[in-house]
C-alpha cells in the first residue's frame, strides 16, 4: 500500500529545462512562495554530469524558511516524475494541469500511475530455493502480483539485513559458506563474500561499518563470528567464540559486540576496535537470544533451558541482574525507545514483558501458539506463532507496572507456518516504511499479507508466483531526509525527453511547474530495441501424461526482428499456486523460434516463463503463458 499524504495542494517543480535563453545553471532552481523556499536539483551520477537516459541521478529538494533560511525538517514531502503533458497544460493551464495530475497520483490508480514514484517502496521476498523475488506492492490486479525481478543466488538463503538507506542487502547462504550482496537500487547480485563455515545469522553494527556473521560450524575452532567490512566487502577476521548457534547484539556506540554461544552457555563480548574477545560470561545453560536496550544501556540474554534473562551492563561489561522466568524462553526484542523488552516462550505460548527501567518482568501475556518471531512498530509489538495462522498484536502504550495490557490479533492466511516446514532464520514479519503496518509471509499459501494498524484483517495479499515465499523485507525508495530540510531520492533516468518533476508539500499550499530534460544515450542507437517473447501455443490445454512442447518466438524492437542463435534460452515452469519451479533448456529451430519439452505431470494450471541471461537479467520477466492440464479422458 502507498503512503497517504494529507494535503490541500501540490507543488510542481522542474529542473534542467534548457529552453531558449536558459542556462546550465537551471539544473538547480529555487521557488519562493508563501514564506517557503524550495530548491530542486537533479544531479547526474555520470562522470560528465549529464542527465542521460538509463543513467542514475539524485533528486534533491532543499526546503527552507524564506526569511530566516532555516531548514524545514520533518515536512515529509512526496514527489513524482512523469512525461510533460503539453496538451493538458495548454487546455487547463500549467498550474491547474499540475495540480490535477498530483491529485491523480495520490489516488494510486493502476491506469494512471506516474513514470517514477519517489514515494514508492518495494518488497523483497526470500524464497525457499536459491533466489529472492522483488514485488511492487502498488500493483496487484486480479490476484496477480507484479513481480519486478528475480535475483538468483548461489545457494538457498537463510537470513538477511539491510542498512538504513536500503541500498544493499546482505544475505547469508549457509551451504555456500558465503554472504550474497545485492544492490537493492538495481535489484541485482553484485558480489558473494566468503563468510566462514555455515554462515547463518547476519547483523550490522549501529554505525554500519562492519557486518557480523554467525558461524554455526560443528568444529569448535570454526564456530563463532566472521566480520566483514561493508565498504570493501572483504572479510576482516574470524573469531572462535564458542559452540552452537550464535545471536548477535551491539552497544549503541558500536564499541562492543555481544555474541551468544548456545552449546557453551556463554556470551562473548568483543571489542570492535581491536576485534578481540574482551570477556566470556556465563549466562545460563542454553542462551537462545540477545537484545540491546538503548534506554538501560544493557544487553539481555534469554536462556531457554534455565528460564532466565541475564542483564549485562554495556559500560562495566558485568552481569547486573538475572531475571527469573520460565523454561522455554526464546526470541526477544526491544521497542524502539528501549523501554519494553518482549521475550517469547514457545513452551508456554506466552510473551513475557521486561521493563528496562527496572530490569524486571512486569507482564506475562498469552500469544499465538508456539511464538517464534517478534517485531515492533512505534505503537505495537507483533508476535508470530509457528502453530497458528494468527498474529498477536500487543499495544505498547498499554504496558507498564500495575497496568492491564491490551492485545488483539488477526489471521495472516489460512494455515499455520509450521505446516510449510523448512523455514529460514529471516523473519516472516516486515515492518512497513511508515512504521504503522506490517507485511506477513504465510509460507503455506505462498502469500505475503499486508496489515495496516486499525484494521480487523489484512487489507491485501501478494501471491509469490513461481516461487515459495519464506520471509519479507521492505526496501524504501521514498524521499529521505538526509539532513535537516534536505530530501533526496536516487532514480534511474527514463528514456530521453522532457519530464515534470512534481513535489508535494503539506503546508503551505503551493503549486508551480517546471520541466526536467533527459538527454538521449547515443550508444543505445546500436541496439534494435528490447527483446520480447511471443508464445506460440497451439492450445491452452494439455492432456495429463502426454508430451507437451512449448513453442515461442524471440523478437526485438518495433520491427520485431527475429532473434535466433541465443544459446542460453530456458523455460521455467511451475504448477500454480505453489509448486517448485522446474527449468528446461530451449532449442533454437530457426527464424527466432525456440522449442522446449516440458513435463506437465499434474492436473491444474501451469505457468511458463522464458529467460536468457545473455539478453539481460530482466529479459521479459513480466511475460508469461499458462497451460491447463486436464485428465487424459477430458482433453
| 569 and 619 belong to one structural domain | yes
pLDDT at 69: 92
pLDDT tens-digit readout, 476-495: 888 888 899 999 988 878 77
- Mean pLDDT value across the chain: 86
pLDDT tens-digit readout, 611-629: 887 777 567 666 778 888 8
3 state DSSP class of 212: strand
Any idea what the CATH number is for the domain that residue 59 is in? 2.60.40.1930
Task: Tell me the three cell numbers of residue 55.
Answer: 543513467
| 88 and 176 belong to one structural domain | no
Per-residue pLDDT at 139 exceeds 80: no
CA-based nearest residue to 461, from 451, 474, 476: 451
| 558 and 491 belong to one structural domain | no
Query: Which residue, 239, 259, 282, sits at the end of a domain?
Result: 282
Q: How many CB atoms lie within 10 A of CB 533?
A: 24
d(C-alpha 628, C-alpha 605), whole Å: 4
Task: Tell me the three cell numbers of residue 475.
Answer: 526496501
Residue 126 lies in a domain: no
Phi-psi region at 25: left, alpha or beta (left = phi > 0; alpha = psi -120 to 50): alpha
**In 391-468, which residue ranges form alpha helices assigned H by DSSP?**
none
| 512 and 599 belong to one structural domain | no
| 583 and 603 belong to one structural domain | yes
Phi-psi region at 131: left, alpha or beta (left = phi > 0; alpha = psi -120 to 50): beta
Q: How many CB atoms lie within 10 A of CB 48?
A: 7
Residue 372 lies in a domain: no
Q: What is the DSSP letter of 523?
A: G
Query: Which residue, 240, 257, 282, sits at the end of a domain?
Result: 282
Could you tell me whether strands 210-215 and 199-204 are parallel, antiparallel, or unpaired per DSSP bridges? antiparallel
Q: Which of 53-67, 119-133, 551-565, 614-628 has the lowest mean pLDDT?
A: 614-628
Q: Which of 66-75, 223-232, 340-349 has the lowest mean pLDDT?
A: 66-75
Task: Tell me the three cell numbers of residue 597.
Answer: 519439452
pLDDT at 348: 96
Per-residue pLDDT at 23 exceeds 60: no
- pLDDT higher at 592 or 225: 225
User: Dihedral of the CA atoms 337, 340, 341, 347 (nearest 10)?
Assistant: -150
Residue 497 lies in a domain: yes
Task: Tell me the three cell numbers of residue 534.
Answer: 511471443
Per-residue pLDDT at 472 exceeds 80: yes
pLDDT-above-70 percentage for the chain: 89
pLDDT at 513: 67
pLDDT at 110: 45
CB neighbour list of residue 303: distance below 8 Å, 6 or more residues apart = 265, 283, 284, 285, 286, 287, 288, 309, 310, 329
Phi-psi region at 88: left, alpha or beta (left = phi > 0; alpha = psi -120 to 50): alpha
Per-residue pLDDT at 111 exceeds 60: no
Per-residue pLDDT at 555 exceeds 60: yes
Per-residue pLDDT at 590 exceeds 90: no
Q: Which of 158-172, 419-433, 557-571 has the lowest mean pLDDT?
A: 557-571
| 497 and 546 belong to one structural domain | no
pLDDT at 108: 58
| 505 and 547 belong to one structural domain | no
pLDDT at 404: 95
Could you tell me whether strands 593-598 and 587-590 are parallel, antiparallel, or unpaired per DSSP bridges? antiparallel
| 15 and 113 belong to one structural domain | yes
- pLDDT higher at 394 or 24: 394
| 89 and 176 belong to one structural domain | no
Mean pLDDT of 521-525: 68
Backbone angles phi, psi at 238, to 5 degrees: -110, 135
Per-residue pLDDT at 21 exceeds 80: no
- Which string of DSSP letters, residue by residue, matches 72-130? -TT---EEEEEE--HHHHHHH-HHHHHHHHHHHHHTT-GGG--SEETT-EEEEEEESSS
pLDDT at 423: 93
Per-residue pLDDT at 203 exceeds 70: yes
pLDDT at 400: 94
Residue 418 lies in a domain: no
Q: Which of 226-230, 315-319, 482-486, 576-580 has the lowest mean pLDDT?
A: 576-580
Could you identify the residue written with the cell 538463503? 157
| 193 and 91 belong to one structural domain | no
| 621 and 536 belong to one structural domain | yes
pLDDT-above-90 percentage for the chain: 50
3 state DSSP class of 53: coil
d(C-alpha 306, C-alpha 435), whole Å: 35
Domain hosting 176: range is 158-282
Q: In total, how many domains does the chain have?
A: 3
Residue 359 lies in a domain: no
- Residue 54 binned pLDDT confidence (cut-offs 50, 70, 90): confident
- Residue 532 binned pLDDT confidence (cut-offs 50, 70, 90): confident
Per-residue pLDDT at 220 exceeds 80: yes
Residue 583 lies in a domain: yes
- Which string of DSSP letters, residue by residue, matches 454-496? T-SS-SEEEE-TTS-EEEEEEEE-S-EEEETTEEEEEEE--SS
How distant, in Å, are the alpha carbons of 314, 505, 566 from that of 249? 11, 39, 49
Residue 146 lies in a domain: no
pLDDT at 142: 43
CA-based nearest residue to 251, from 218, 206, 213, 306: 206
- Which string of DSSP letters, residue by residue, matches 270-329? EETTTTEEEEEEE--S-EEEEEEETTTTEEEEEETTTTEEEEEETTT-SEEEEEE--TTE
Cβ(503)–Cβ(61) under 8 Å? yes
Residue 312 lies in a domain: no
pLDDT at 201: 98
Cβ(263)–Cβ(243) under 8 Å? yes
Most confident of 65-69, 96-100, 159-163, 473-477: 159-163
605, containing H or E segment: strand 604-611
d(C-alpha 191, C-alpha 233), whole Å: 8
Q: What is the DSSP letter of 423?
A: -
Cross-strand partners of 627: 606
d(C-alpha 3, C-alpha 435), whole Å: 11
Task: Tell me the three cell numbers of residue 144.
Answer: 496477480
Per-residue pLDDT at 122 exceeds 70: yes
| 267 and 192 belong to one structural domain | yes
d(C-alpha 533, C-alpha 554), whole Å: 5
pLDDT at 537: 80
Q: Which of 8-22, 314-328, 329-343, 618-632 has the lowest mean pLDDT?
A: 8-22
Mean pLDDT of 431-446: 91
Query: Which residue, 216, 248, 282, sits at the end of a domain?
Result: 282
Environment class of 31 (CB within 10 Å of its CB; exposed 0-12, middle 13-18, buried 19+): middle
Any idea what the CATH number is for the domain that residue 181 is in? 2.130.10.10
Cβ(430)–Cβ(123) under 8 Å? yes
Per-residue pLDDT at 356 exceeds 70: yes
pLDDT at 20: 33
Amino acid at each position: 500500500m502507498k503512503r497517504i499524504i494529507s494535503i490541500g495542494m501540490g507543488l510542481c517543480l522542474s529542473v534542467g529545462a534548457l529552453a531558449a535563453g536558459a542556462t546550465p545553471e537551471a539544473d538547480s532552481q529555487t521557488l519562493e512562495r508563501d514564506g517557503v523556499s524550495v530548491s530542486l536539483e537533479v544531479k547526474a551520477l555520470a562522470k560528465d554530469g549529464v542527465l542521460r537516459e538509463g543513467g542514475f541521478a539524485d533528486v534533491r529538494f532543499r526546503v527552507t524558511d524564506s526569511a530566516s533560511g532555516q531548514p524545514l525538517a520533518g515536512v515529509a514531502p512526496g514527489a513524482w516524475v512523469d512525461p510533460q503533458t503539453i496538451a493538458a497544460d495548454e487546455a487547463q493551464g500549467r498550474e491547474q494541469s499540475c495540480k490535477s495530475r498530483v491529485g491523480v497520483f495520490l489516488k494510486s490508480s493502476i491506469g494512471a500511475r506516474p513514470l517514477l514514484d519517489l514515494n514508492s517502496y518495494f518488497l523483497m521476498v526470500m524464497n525457499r530455493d536459491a533466489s529472492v523475488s522483488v514485488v511492487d506492492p502498488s500493483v496487484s490486479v486480479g490476484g496477480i502480483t507484479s513481480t519486478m525481478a528475480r535475483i538468483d543466488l548461489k545457494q538457498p538463503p537463510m537470513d538477511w539485513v539491510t542498512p538504513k538507506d536500503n541500498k544493499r542487502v546482505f544475505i547469508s547462504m549457509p551451504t555456500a559458506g558465503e554472504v550474497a550482496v545485492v544492490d537493492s537500487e538495481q535489484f541485482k547480485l553484485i558480489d558473494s563474500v566468503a563468510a566462514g563455515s555455515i554462515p547463518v545469522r547476519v547483523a550490522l553494527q549501529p554505525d554500519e561499518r562492519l557486518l557480523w556473521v554467525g558461524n554455526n560450524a560443528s568444529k569448535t575452532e570454526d564456530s563463532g563470528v566472521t566480520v566483514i567490512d561493508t565498504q570493501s566487502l572483504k572479510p576482516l577476521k574470524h573469531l572462535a567464540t564458542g559452540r552452537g548457534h550464535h545471536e548477535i547484539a551491539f552497544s549503541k556506540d558500536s564499541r562492543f559486540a555481544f555474541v551468544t554461544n548456545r552449546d557453551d552457555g556463554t556470551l562473548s563480548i568483543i571489542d570492535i576496535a581491536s576485534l578481540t574477545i574482551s570477556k566470556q560470561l556465563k549466562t545460563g545453560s542454553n542462551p537462545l537470544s540477545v537484545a540491546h536496550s538503548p534506554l538501560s544501556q544493557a544487553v539481555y540474554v534469554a536462556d531457554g533451558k534455565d528460564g532466565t534473562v541475564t542483564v549485562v551492563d554495556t559500560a562495566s561489561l558485568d552481569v547486573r541482574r538475572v531475571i527469573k522466568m520460565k523454561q522455554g524462553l526464546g526470541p526477544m526484542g526491544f521497542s524502539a525507545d528501549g523501554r519494553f523488552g518482549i521475550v517469547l516462550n514457545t513452551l508456554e505460548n506466552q510473551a513475557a514483558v521486561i521493563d528496562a527501567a527496572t530490569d524486571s518482568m512486569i507482564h506475562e501475556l498469552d500469544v499465538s501458539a508456539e511464538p517464534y518471531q517478534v517485531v515492533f512498530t512505534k505503537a505495537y509489538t507483533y508476535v508470530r506463532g509457528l502453530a497458528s495462522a494468527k498474529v498477536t498484536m500487543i499495544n505498547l502504550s498499554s504496558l507498564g507496572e500495575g497496568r492491564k495490557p491490551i492485545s488483539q490479533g488477526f489471521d495472516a492466511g489460512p494455515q499455520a507456518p509450521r505446516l510449510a516446514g523448512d523455514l529460514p532464520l529471516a523473519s516472516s514479519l516486515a515492518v512497513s516504511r511508515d512504521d504503522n503496518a506490517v507485511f506477513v509471509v504465510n509460507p503455506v499459501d505462498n502469500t505475503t499479507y499486508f496489515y495496516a494498524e486499525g484494521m480487523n484483517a489484512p487489507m491485501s495479499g501478494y501471491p509469490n508466483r513461481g516461487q515459495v515465499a519464506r520471509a519479507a523485507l521492505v526496501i524504501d525508495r521514498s524521499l529521505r531526509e538526509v539532513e535537516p530540510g534536505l530530501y533526496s531520492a536516487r532514480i534511474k533516468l527514463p528514456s530521453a525527453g522532457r519530464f515534470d518533476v512534481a513535489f508535494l508539500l503539506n503546508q503551505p499550499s503551493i503549486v508551480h511547474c517546471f520541466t526536467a530534460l533527459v538527454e538521449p544515450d547515443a550508444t543505445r542507437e546500436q541496439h534494435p530495441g528490447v527483446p520480447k517473447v511471443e508464445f506460440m501455443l497451439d492450445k491452452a490445454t494439455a492432456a495429463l501424461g502426454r508430451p507437451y512442447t512449448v513453442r515461442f518466438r524471440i523478437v526485438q524492437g518495433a520491427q520485431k526482428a527475429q532473434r535466433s542463435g541465443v544459446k542460453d534460452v530456458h523455460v521455467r515452469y511451475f504448477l500454480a499456486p505453489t509448486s517448485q519451479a522446474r527449468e528446461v533448456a530451449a532449442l533454437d529451430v530457426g527464424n527466432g523460434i525456440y522449442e522446449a519439452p516440458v513435463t506437465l505431470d499434474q492436473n491444474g494450471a501451469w505457468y511458463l516463463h522464458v529467460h536468457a541471461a545473455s539478453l539481460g537479467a530482466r529479459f521479459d520477466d513480466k511475460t508469461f503463458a499458462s497451460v491447463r492440464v486436464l485428465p487424459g479422458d477430458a482433453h
